[in-house]
Structure 1
Amino acid sequence: MDSLTQACLGGVLGGAVLGRRLGRKSILLGAAAATLPDLDSFIDYGNAVADYTYHRSVTHSVFVLSALAGLLTLACTRLPTTRAIPTPLWFWFWWLCLVTHPILDAFTAYGTQLLWPIASPPVAWKTIFIIDPLYTLPMLLAIVVALIRGAHGRAAGIGLTISTVYLGFSVAAKAMVLAQVHPVLVQRGLDDRPVMVQPTPLNTLVWRVTVMDDNRQLEALVSLFDDRDKLALDSFSRPMDAHDMLVDSWAGQRLGWFAAPFWRSETRDGTLVVTDLRMGQPGVYSFAFVTGERDDDGQWHPVTPRAADTARPDTSLLPALFKRITQPDALCPSDFGDHDRLLPESECRSRG
């Protein structure tokens, strides 16, 4: 999630745990603690793919953060100004403010390595967009009230409860979308294909459904209010250029572990560009990397990975996105971009 949301979560947790003992300081200290895991954004891991895939690893590990909570608790129990507060309260304060950061991140699409150093795939439950005002605002308002009136736990607790209920709704909403699309995928013989369901920007009512079908990428927008018997899939070509070289290279293996099968590799001006299809919308992806170059003999060779150019999101489509909540023809996946990859069998716009 964004830094403001993480700070708000830490602030309301801090107020709920130590508001009666530390007052406003509990909110400020909790907000600061909750942003600590994202300090890894300033670490240079050596290349663009390493920076991308090692983010949300060591500093987002529940093991590392639990140990840090223990160390901070020990420090607080030895300082004259803080040792009057019981040790268990200090531990719960630090532990909740720190560990909830990666847990909240795991609800997004990026992927969070909660169990680092265990080499398990990143956790990405994909139930909430990285910025969602309906999740953040209750906590932000609670913090403002608590800072004005005094942090006694009540305002922080109310804000935390409302936001947590909304987060729970996002989980239920995703389950509803999965139940809605699964019968249609079965009917079309696509139920054994990799399927990804995640919310579209700033809401949990319209969801992006992605199906990887070999050399095709099928995309749909599904609202909780849609007819359950209909699913309009736009179809895009999905190149996997230089696949053998890609999967044999360090960058290819790392990106494959992090994003596959929701990725593609394509040739751009003699370079091999790998795109993470999870982050963004068709044609407007946030992360793409140059991982190889072709020599004069037409042979591919790995290179030090670097970031590739990506398109900027078209904010003018936001009104259409919100209309899509109740109007099935208001917006299609192909409206975001990737028009040159759109295949003739695409269905969404033909309904209009």
Structure 2
Amino acid sequence: MDSLSQIALGSAVAVAVVGKHTSIKKAALWGAIAGTLPDLDVLIDYGDDLSNMVQHRGFSHSLFYLTLFSPLLALLVCRIHNEMAHYKHWLLGLWLVLITHPLLDTMTIYGTQLALPFSDYPYGVGSIFIIDPLYTLPLLLGVIWVLLKGKTLLAANTAGLVFSSCYLLWSVAAQQHVTGVVKSQLTEIFNHSTKLLVQPTALNTLLWRVLIRTDEAYYEGFYSLLEKEATIELVRFEQDPLLLEQYALHPDVQKLASFSHGFYALEQQKQQIVLTDLRMGQQQNYAFSFVVAEQAAETSLRLPRKLELSATLNWIWLTLKGEEPTEFSQSPHNQTSPAAVLD
């Protein structure tokens, strides 16, 4: 999730656990700090653009390593504030803050390596977008209310935590519902090699993106929970089998294929071979695309992304209302001609 959400969650958890035993401001501050710490791995350069993407949410998001780190952090806090008598409360609170950070990240689609050093599998439920105001605002309001009113209103902080947690549960339930709709409507497209991904569009859990990947092509469509009788229309994007075969053993292609669980595209765009993670963004504007290096020893370079937020939000709003939106402009590096539309 975004940094603000992690700060709000960290503060809310720390206030809930430690707030009765120390200053609310101390608990909120250290909760915010601990909630930010795992994401400091973005400052590490792993050598190339693709590795920086894949290694993010790595060791710093490991439940094992964070558990080992939490006693040291709790000891530091207690020493600074001379509160060794409350060490066990600080330990529990900061441990919960540290581990809820990667657990929340796991609810997005990016990929979080929770099980390091035992496994580098990138977990991603994909039921919530990386920024969602309905998740973050209740946490912020609860923490701010307690900071303003004091310990007598700790219930406001608890209410924010309960609401945000219920919203996460709702997102999973909505995702499962849309998955069922997809499978019931599109039975003809599924076979042993089909990969299906259902995820929310930006900032909401009402409009869902449907991504299907087969050996020959990938498909993209959308489903709104506000239109329960709507038919899902999929746009098909062909993949060049010769190109896929030619680059199948390229280390960068293999790396992204594994990290994205097979949801990637490889396309010839002018004189470049472009490798794209299909999970983040959508056909008009993907978040992570790379120019594949011709030599395996060279590094693949990430293409810049032009994010048109206002156009994206307008497109989402019109689609939710059941209107036919005008396609928002494509990045010059992410233009692909659809081969067919299935409904």
Look up the SS of the partner of 1:102 in the other structure: helix
TM superposition shift of 1:215: 2.7
TM superposition shift of 1:76: 4.8
Aligned to 2:337: 341
Matched, 1:306 2:307: no
TM superposition shift of 1:319: 2.7
Matched, 1:109 2:105: no
Counterpart Cα distance in 2 of 1:107 and 1:76: 29
The one-letter amino acid paired with 2:138 is P
TM superposition shift of 1:191: 5.1
Q: How does 1:195-344 map to 2 (within 5 A)?
A: 195-228=196-229, 230-239=231-240, 242-293=243-294, 303-313=298-308, 315-327=310-322, 329-331=323-325, 337=330, 340-343=336-339
Counterpart Cα distance in 2 of 1:176 and 1:321: 20
TM superposition shift of 1:303: 2.1
Deviations 1:284-303 (A, max 9, x none): 0011112223xxxxxx6552
Aligned to 1:297: none
Deviates more, 1:65-74 or 1:3-12: 65-74
Counterpart Cα distance in 1 of 2:309 and 2:82: 52
Matched, 1:123 2:117: no
Aligned to 2:91: 91
Look up the SS of the partner of 2:186 in the other structure: helix
TM superposition shift of 1:341: 1.4
Deviates more, 1:230-239 or 1:240-249: 240-249
Aligned to 2:72: 71
TM superposition shift of 1:28: 1.2
TM superposition shift of 1:340: 4.3
Look up the SS of the partner of 1:127 in the other structure: coil
TM superposition shift of 1:221: 0.7
TM superposition shift of 1:66: 0.6
Structure 1 residues 270, 151: CA separation in 2 closer, same or farther (over 3 Å shift)?
farther
TM-score (ref. length: structure 1): 0.88
Deviations 1:168-190 (A, max 9, x none): 1101110110111111122x242
Look up the SS of the partner of 2:84 in the other structure: coil
The one-letter amino acid paired with 2:103 is I
Counterpart Cα distance in 2 of 1:39 and 1:221: 34
Look up the SS of the partner of 2:211 in the other structure: strand
The one-letter amino acid paired with 1:5 is S
Aligned positions, number: 337
The one-letter amino acid paired with 1:233 is L
Deviations 1:302-336 (A, max 9, x none): 52122123343352242331232341x4348x656
Conserved 8 A contact 1:194-1:211: yes
Aligned to 2:19: 19
Conserved 8 A contact 1:262-1:278: yes
Aligned to 1:138: 138
Conserved 8 A contact 2:251-2:296: no
Counterpart Cα distance in 1 of 2:131 and 2:110: 12
| Runs of 4+ off more than 6 Å | none
Counterpart Cα distance in 1 of 2:13 and 2:239: 44
Counterpart Cα distance in 2 of 1:112 and 1:169: 21
Q: How does 1:50-69 map to 2 (within 5 A)?
A: 50-69=51-70
TM superposition shift of 1:49: 1.0
Look up the SS of the partner of 1:175 in the other structure: helix
Counterpart Cα distance in 2 of 1:221 and 1:177: 10
Q: How does 1:180-191 map to 2 (within 5 A)?
A: 180-186=181-187, 188-190=188-190
TM superposition shift of 1:235: 1.8
TM superposition shift of 1:271: 3.2
Look up the SS of the partner of 2:266 in the other structure: strand
Counterpart Cα distance in 2 of 1:75 and 1:178: 46
Structure 1 residues 120, 339: CA separation in 2 closer, same or farther (over 3 Å shift)?
closer
Structure 1 residues 336, 217: CA separation in 2 closer, same or farther (over 3 Å shift)?
farther
Structure 1 residues 150, 227: CA separation in 2 closer, same or farther (over 3 Å shift)?
closer
Conserved 8 A contact 2:12-2:161: yes
TM superposition shift of 1:73: 3.1
Look up the SS of the partner of 1:275 in the other structure: strand
5+ residue gaps, structure 1: 294-299
Counterpart Cα distance in 2 of 1:130 and 1:99: 18
RMSD, aligned CA: 2.3
